[in-house]
Amino acid sequence: MKKPLPWHIVVFLAPALLIYVVFSAWPLIDTLRLGFYVTSDTGSQHFAWLANYKMLMFDPHWSEGFWNAMGNNLKFFLVHMLIQNPIGLLLAALLSMRGVRGAKVYQTVLFLPTLLSVVIIGFIWQLILSPLWGVSETLLGYVGLADWFQPWLGQEETALYTLSMMSVWQFVGIPMMLIYAALIAIPDEIIEAAVVEGASAWRIFWTIRVPLILPTLGLVTILTFVGNFNAFDLIYSVKGALAGPNYSTDILGTYFYRAFFGYQSQLGSATLGAAVATLMFLVILAGVGVYFFFVQRKLQRFSF
């Protein structure tokens, strides 16, 4: 006997599907289309196949900026991977230990910056680090390190890393919470069995807990990747669209902003902007693809 089509499922899914198509899928596809056009001086657009992409990747005075932004973006991501996520893991491990007093208070305090607007974060840190009005130099002076103080946000060598660390400071609560949730979800029996077998706490952590939370670590990685390659707001609010000094903090987001909206005497171009957006999309797609192919497939058997 043939099963009747489950109409109720279609009916209930349709509104959500419709909204996603209209506000998410269609704009994305249209962006891909727009990237193939060029805008003339009068604002009319005509099809130009790969002209925008050629310009972005090979015309020196666009490509230099593009690859610079790409490189900076990669550094921005690596700082998060190497500092934010390990700290998140460490904090989660500490918080999930038994008998930590005030664990909830710690969680809340560590998570608080995540709730603040990026603009506020940017402004606060700009003030703290300001060589004119900031408190950093005085605070460093109390521990005898005043000579180490530098205008970190104003130097080409340090500006990007300073901004990355500000972002780490703000967002460390998210990996912490995700990993924490995974850690406390590990069934007590497994841990108890290991304890009975005589395993040390260190060994339990590395050979039982960490493998069991690998899918979560994978999720955190991919969230960090997507988030960082779409980043824009912090840099824009602290350094403006020119991402100075000398483009040392320019990432794909700010590069896209200048291409799309224009800045100062550079006019914006929706078509060139769409091409940059497409390239950003492809980078993220490739990253996610690599992750799914090499990592996610192997993680399946650990999920519970």
Specify the residue, 56 or 284, whose C-beta has the smaller distance to other proteins. 56
The window from 1-9, 86-94, 235-243, 289-297 that contacts other proteins (CB under 8 A) reads 235-243
Helix (H), strand (E) at residue 177: helix 173-184
Map the footprint of other proteins across residues 113-142, applying CB under 8 A.
129-133
> In the complex, what is the shortest distance from the CB of residue 51 to other proteins, in angstroms, rounded to a whole number?
15
Count of beta carbons in the 10 Å neighbourhood of residue 259 = 25
Residue from 111, 169, 261, 291 touching other proteins (CB under 8 A): that is: 261
Helix (H), strand (E) at residue 38: strand 37-39
Helix (H), strand (E) at residue 267: strand 266-267
Residue from 262, 288, 291, 299 touching other proteins (CB under 8 A): that is: 262
Interaction of residue 108 with other proteins, rule CB under 8 A: no
Interaction of residue 57 with other proteins, rule CB under 8 A: no
- Tell me the β-bridge partners of 263: 266
Interaction of residue 150 with other proteins, rule CB under 8 A: yes
Residue from 242, 283, 288, 299 touching other proteins (CB under 8 A): that is: 242
Interaction of residue 161 with other proteins, rule CB under 8 A: no
How many CA atoms within 13 Å lie on the side-chain side of 137? Answer: 11
> In the complex, what is the shortest distance from the CB of residue 283 to other proteins, in angstroms, rounded to a whole number?
25
The window from 40-48, 140-148, 172-180, 282-290 that contacts other proteins (CB under 8 A) reads 40-48
Specify the residue, 39 or 73, whose C-beta has the smaller distance to other proteins. 39
Place of tokens 């960090």: 224
Nearest to 65 by CA among 237, 204, 252, 281: 252
CA distances from 121 to 8, 130, 170 (A): 46, 14, 8
Measured distance CA(256)–CA(66) in Å, rounded: 9
Footprint on this chain of other proteins (rule: CB under 8 A): 41-43, 61, 129-133, 150-156, 239-242, 244-247, 261-268
